Amino acid sequence: MQYFDTHAHIGLIHEDPIEQLIITQEARQDNVSYIMSICNNLYDFFDLYNNLSSASNVVFAIGVSPSEVQNPGPDWEQKISEGLNMDKVVALGETGLDYYRKFGDKSSQVELFISQLELADQNDVPVIIHNRNAGKDIQEILSTRMPSKGGVLHCYSEDWEYAKKILDKHDNMYFSFAGNVTYRNARNLHDTVRYLPLDRIVIESESPFMVPAAFRGKRNKPIYLPSTAEFVASLREEPEEEVYEALFENARTLFGLS
């Protein structure tokens, strides 16, 4: 049994480089064979890359989150392009739109998002998309700006109808579910997991956030990912081994690691 954590903020679990490596080692012992390391800003990315690039089960994404729209940093586009040429960097992200916390203004967020979609396309990598209260705008932007390598709507929070609209237009989009899919009242996510084609689903820890229900009260870590996989399999009512294998292989395909 192998698992692929497609979204983990390892640097937010622990700042200490040794503790970060221990987290990845613990995950590997629990069969989390890959962890996608996510940073919200470029300074954190290069720092964490230096700390974790030696970990055999960690791969990286580089990008500027909507939370950093007011200060993406000097030469941020050039730095992303440089990062995408580094070993073990296999995706651009996270990027996207967040209208819940109102980072900057909407037009600035949209501009930052579109610029990174273009960078992903130019560099032939998939994109990891953050969506919070911005589903309509993201759908409209992707209708004309989807990178050739596709991407993933991470920590999916919309309903099945929204997912179906995305699928109808894009055959290279994946949907990632975090620990919140295990919450009893997340019926929109439960239905989406049931109805999505199995080959479009991946899972993530979203560490240190969105801890699965079985571990409520704890700080989330990649070692809890199997709990999310188990819940997804129970919703699908398909053989567990078949679902686990698909979740793992889907993620490898998404990030070009097959």
Cis status of the peptide bond prior to 94, with omega within 30 of 0: yes
pLDDT of residue 182: 98
CA-CA distance, 165 to 160, in Å (whole number)? 9
Looking at 1.20.1250.20, 3.50.50.60, 3.40.1010.10, 3.20.20.140, the CATH number of the domain 3-254 comes to: 3.20.20.140
Pairing mode of beta strands 32-37, 3-8: parallel
Instruction: Please tell me the predicted confidence (pLDDT) of residue 92.
Output: 98
State the CB neighbour count (10 A cutoff) for residue 42.
Answer: 21
Going from N- to C-terminal start, the domains of the chain cover: 3-254
Q: CA-to-CA distance for 87 and 114, rounded, in angstroms?
A: 25
Give the pLDDT of residue 102.
81
Please tell me whether 9 is known to bind a ligand. yes
Q: Is 94 annotated as a binding residue?
A: yes
Give me the pLDDT at residue 180, please.
Answer: 96
The two tokens of residue 7 are 């979204």
DSSP 52: H
CB 47 within 8 A of CB 12: no
Q: From the first residue on, what is the mean pLDDT of each consecutive set of 10 residues in the chain (258 residues)?
A: 97 93 96 97 94 96 96 94 97 97 92 98 98 97 97 98 97 97 97 98 98 96 98 95 98 95
pLDDT at res. 258:
79
Token pair belonging to 111: 């501009």
